[in-house]
Structure 1
């Protein structure tokens, strides 16, 4: 069965995801990209996985650095997501915070730094598995992506009487 690329992409868009910015530092330069292809893999050891397109500049940066950071964006960080997705092209530079020597997004819900422990080519992407070396976790609600658009989590709070 031949499946249309647009049909497949639209179907996959029905899976709501959080939004991350993947960062690394290679040859003294900081690099970042927006991604929603992230998952927790293992508790012992603490492993996560990211998926990077084989045509993305970030691929070679992570291969060189052998480490990366992941920032889970908060609902008020949509502009940051758009900047690192290339949707804002005004030439501005982002001022990264640092964690464990790695560039991160300040104010994110979670920041992780990771050492690459393995990588696997899978179709037109490469999966990087990283062992978490440092973590910061903050309170707040996540910025989401669903059906090709940014979404916000609306939590109903019940009052106890």
Structure 2
């Protein structure tokens, strides 16, 4: 199996879309990522996976904190911006919650303290303990098979 075949196979798993953010000495940084999951309820832990070439990796290692903003379906432009799919001249205006950058209007904003860092192939997994969580109603932005998607109520069964 080659890496392209593996990537295509993993792309069949639909995910939400997040912006991972951090703050180093008052400079805010962010990146789009779908490598995010809940790990434990007690204690509360989440995980993010960051590629070794991402600038955000070193910044999280330095700050020891990260934010996760789970994007709403209306925030496609924000996802593309932080994925480097569009060039924008002006700097992004993060929402600041308890002094930490998150994306305004996101369905969920989580601010985490790094609990553990695990090297895994060409990525680093950070386990984070949520210090603050904000949740609002809405439909998430999804990603599957290399494209953005949204929920379709006609396929939901009870």
TM-score, normalised on structure 1?
0.94
Q: CA deviation at 1:155?
A: 2.1
Question: Which of 119, 142, 145 is matched with 1:144 structurally?
Answer: 142
CA offsets per residue over residues 115-157 of structure 1, 9 Å max, x none?
001100000000000000001100000100000000011224x
Establish whether residue 121 from structure 1 lines up as the match of residue 119 from structure 2: yes
How many positions carry a matched residue from both structures? 156
Note the residue ranges of structure 2 that are not aligned, 5 or more in a row: none
Q: Distance in 2 between matches of 1:36 and 1:55?
A: 16
Aligned with residue 69 of structure 1, among 67, 70, 80: 67
Q: Deviations over 1:88-107 (max 9, x none)?
A: 11323110001222100011
Local SS of the residue matching 1:87:
coil
Q: Contact conserved, 1:114 with 1:132, CA < 8 A, in 2?
A: yes
Separation in 1, partners of 2:88, 2:105: 22
Instruction: State how far apart, in whole Å, the 1-side matches of 2:106 and 2:121 are.
Output: 30
Structure 1 distance, partners of 2:24, 2:81, is 20
What secondary structure is seen at the aligned counterpart in 2 of 1:76?
helix
Q: TM-score normalised to the size of structure 2? A: 0.95
Higher percent of residues as helix = 2
Which structure has the greater CA radius of gyration?
1
Give the secondary-structure state (helix, strand or coil) at the position aligned to 2:125.
Answer: strand
Which of the residues 56, 75, 82 maps onto 2:54? 56
In the alignment, the residues of structure 2 paired with residue 108 and residue 154 of structure 1 have an alpha-carbon distance, to the nearest angstrom, of: 20
- After superposing on structure 2, the runs of 4+ consecutive aligned residues of structure 1 that deviate more than 2 Å are none
Partner residue of 2:31? 33
Distance 2:30 2:112 in 1: 15
Show the counterpart of 1:19: 17
